[in-house]
């Protein structure tokens, strides 16, 4: 992988990365750069377009994190634009179930992780200059949402219209999940239409609101985002403590399932974007309420973020969650700053670097430490979201 990068990235840029790893008292930027180098060197797979040791949807989050880093550190642009270019063309071939929205599925759609990758899938390869949103859908509306946000983030860096058009197409795919049978609104989790949960709906809000700020037909997306937020707020998923549970029961009540960090996060970024697209004095206070409740429920006495519901055995999904929360808290902080957000972001980033990192600069699952061997691309990308946020928020 490293050799490949030497061919695509200028030699002087590579030397800069090497030098950075040797600096002992590192700046926040150089820590993130060091971690980026580790991520690409250890795990980015040029053939699959995602990162070995993490799953399909996790890959979208690694890509979003790369774009966020490039937005604040121009030295990362060569690496991240290479990833966007390559991933756009090759990753559809490792999508566990591309185009499944057009099929008549009976069972639960399957998602995939390295151990279960269906290498028998014939594999659709993308083409530069061609948009095929269907290639990014896999039967789970939330997985589509992650890729839509990833391509929007890549569009923000490159202004490549194909990326934006891909996100637009993925969003259309997600609208097929609307409505659930709870209050005639919201989207289902998967094409099986048997679970109304928080993450798919928060992503639907966030993708719609992000698109509203980037496309000519803004009103269409503002309308979806407003409809979704109205439904979500009344759905019962936000509990009496102002934290968000995992989803609803079949009779449409809060199911009391785990308060995961990411479910406190995606809604924050969604409301920030919606407030930008169609300002309303209630959006940011609603976001601040959820953020405060999440910080109170999910940080330790040092201010370090945790998924108490799974650490240290978070399985391939849960390893991704904390970074998603921090990324969205950063977005909220930019428009409505609070000292409490700075504390969580800085405490988490500092603790990751001090307590949750091995000699090879790999980052693991419990940000308070100790380092849990082996780290993988999911634990590493997630922790990198905190390193990136720490560059911006201080
Ligand atoms: C990279 O991805 C390809 C395509 O999915 C796969 O066959 C290969 O095993 C992966 N490489 C590693 C080192 O996992
Ligand atoms: C990405 O692709 C575009 C168009 O195909 C090309 O102009 C650009 O140089 C590529 N960037 C990188 C870093 O490979
Ligand atoms: C778009 O992607 C789907 C799913 O991968 C594939 O079946 C279809 O052939 C692609 N369409 C085009 C026009 O390439
Ligand atoms: C609110 O938080 C308290 C204290 O952590 C907990 O005991 C209670 O179950 C929570 N209530 C809800 C509705 O989640
Ligand atoms: C919603 O649909 C599911 C099955 O699809 C059913 O079990 C459930 O009772 C329905 N809930 C309501 C409130 O209609
Ligand atoms: C990544 O590491 C975490 C924490 O050690 C583990 O729970 C998870 O299953 C690993 N992911 C994969 C895809 O093996």
The CATH code of the domain that includes 323 is 1.50.10.20
Higher pLDDT, 125 or 202: 202
Least confident window among 106-115, 131-140, 252-261, 332-341 = 106-115
Identify the nearest ligand to the CA of 50 by its number: 1
- Structural domain boundaries enclosing 282: 96-393
CA–CA dist 391, 380 (Å, integer): 17
Residue 58 lies in a domain: no
- Probe residue for ligand 5, chosen from 108, 181, 248, 254 as the CB with the greatest number of ligand atoms within 8 Å: 181
Q: Encode pLDDT of 92-141 as tens digits.
A: 988 887 766 555 445 556 555 554 544 444 556 777 778 899 899 988 99
Q: Could you tell me if 297 and 307 are in contact, meaning their C-beta atoms sit under 8 angstroms apart?
A: no
Ligand 2 atom having least distance to the Cα of 78: 13
For residue 325, the number of C-alpha atoms closer than 13 Å in the C-beta half-sphere is: 30
* C-alpha 231 – ligand 5 centre gap (Å): 17
Does the C-beta of 110 come closer than 6 Å to ligand 2?
no
What average pLDDT score do residues 285-306 get?
Answer: 98
Residue 51 lies in a domain: no
Q: What is the pTM of this model?
A: 0.91
Residue 355 lies in a domain: yes
Residue 43 lies in a domain: no
Residue 378 lies in a domain: yes
Indicate which residue's Cα is closest to atom 6 of ligand 2.
85
Residue 73 lies in a domain: no
What residues contact 264, with CB distance under 8 A and at least 6 apart? 243, 244, 290, 291, 293, 294, 298, 325
Does the C-beta of 47 come closer than 6 Å to ligand 1?
yes
What average pLDDT score do residues 242-271 get?
Answer: 98
Does the C-beta of 241 come closer than 6 Å to ligand 4?
yes
Exposure string over 17-35, b if 16+ CB within 10 A, otherwise e = beebeeeeeeebbbbbbbb
- Probe residue for ligand 1, chosen from 42, 43, 45, 121 as the CB with the greatest number of ligand atoms within 8 Å: 45
Instruction: Count the domains in the chain.
Output: 1
* C-alpha 150 – ligand 1 centre gap (Å): 22
Ligand 6 atom having least distance to the Cα of 53: 13
Residue 126 lies in a domain: yes
| Sign for the pseudo-dihedral over CA of 326, 327, 328, 329 | positive
Residue 145 lies in a domain: yes
Identify the nearest ligand to the CA of 139 by its number: 3
| pLDDT above 90 for 370 | yes
Identify the nearest ligand to the CA of 169 by its number: 3
Does the C-beta of 48 come closer than 6 Å to ligand 1?
yes
Ligand 5 atom having least distance to the Cα of 252: 13
Indicate which residue's Cα is closest to atom 4 of ligand 1.
48
Does the C-beta of 240 come closer than 6 Å to ligand 4?
yes
CA–CA dist 121, 342 (Å, integer): 45
Does the C-beta of 121 come closer than 6 Å to ligand 3?
no
Residue 352, token pair as written in the block = 């990751």
- Report helix angle 198-212 to 141-158, nearest 10: 30
Q: Encode pLDDT of 46-89 as tens digits.
A: 999 999 999 999 999 999 999 999 999 999 999 999 999 999 99
Q: Encode pLDDT of 270-291 as tens digits.
A: 999 999 999 999 999 999 999 9
């Amino acid at each position: 992988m490293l050799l490949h990068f030497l061919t695509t990235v200028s030699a002087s840029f590579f030397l800069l990365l090497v030098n950075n790893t040797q600096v002992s008292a590192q700046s926040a930027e150089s820590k993130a750069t060091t971690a980026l180098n580790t991520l690409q060197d250890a795990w980015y797979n040029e053939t699959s377009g995602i990162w070995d040791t993490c799953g399909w949807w996790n890959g979208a989050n690694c890509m979003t994190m790369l774009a966020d880093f490039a937005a604040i550190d121009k030295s990362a642009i060569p690496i991240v634009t290479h990833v966007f270019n390559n991933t756009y063309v090759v990753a559809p071939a490792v999508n566990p179930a591309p185009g499944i929205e057009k099929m008549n599925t009976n069972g639960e759609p399957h998602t995939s992780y390295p151990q279960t990758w269906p290498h028998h899938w014939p594999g659709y390869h993308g083409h530069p200059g061609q948009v095929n949103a269907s290639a990014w859908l896999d039967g789970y509306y939330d997985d589509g949402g992650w890729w839509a946000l990833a391509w929007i983030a890549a569009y923000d860096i490159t202004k490549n219209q194909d990326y934006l058009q891909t996100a637009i197409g993925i969003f259309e795919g997600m609208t097929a999940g609307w409505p659930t049978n709870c209050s005639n609104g919201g989207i289902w989790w998967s094409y099986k239409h048997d679970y109304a949960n928080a993450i798919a709906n928060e992503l639907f809000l966030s993708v719609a609101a992000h698109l509203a700020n980037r496309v000519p037909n803004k009103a269409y997306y503002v309308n979806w985002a407003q409809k979704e937020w109205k439904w979500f707020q009344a759905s019962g998923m936000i509990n009496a403590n102002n934290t968000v549970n995992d989803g609803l029961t079949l009779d449409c009540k809060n199911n009391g399932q785990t308060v995961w960090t990411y479910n406190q996060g995606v809604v924050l970024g969604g409301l920030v974007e919606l407030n930008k697209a169609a300002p309303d004095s209630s959006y940011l206070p609603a976001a601040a309420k959820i953020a405060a409740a999440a910080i109170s429920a999910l940080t330790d006495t040092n201010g370090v973020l945790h998924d108490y519901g799974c650490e240290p055995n978070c399985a391939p999904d849960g390893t991704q969650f904390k970074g998603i929360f921090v990324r969205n808290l950063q977005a909220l902080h930019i428009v409505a700053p609070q000292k409490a957000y700075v504390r969580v972001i800085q405490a988490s980033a500092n603790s990751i670097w001090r307590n949750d990192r091995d000699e090879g600069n790999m980052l693991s699952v419990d940000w308070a430490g100790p380092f849990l061997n082996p780290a993988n691309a999911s634990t590493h990308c997630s922790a990198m979201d905190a390193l990136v946020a720490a560059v911006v928020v201080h």
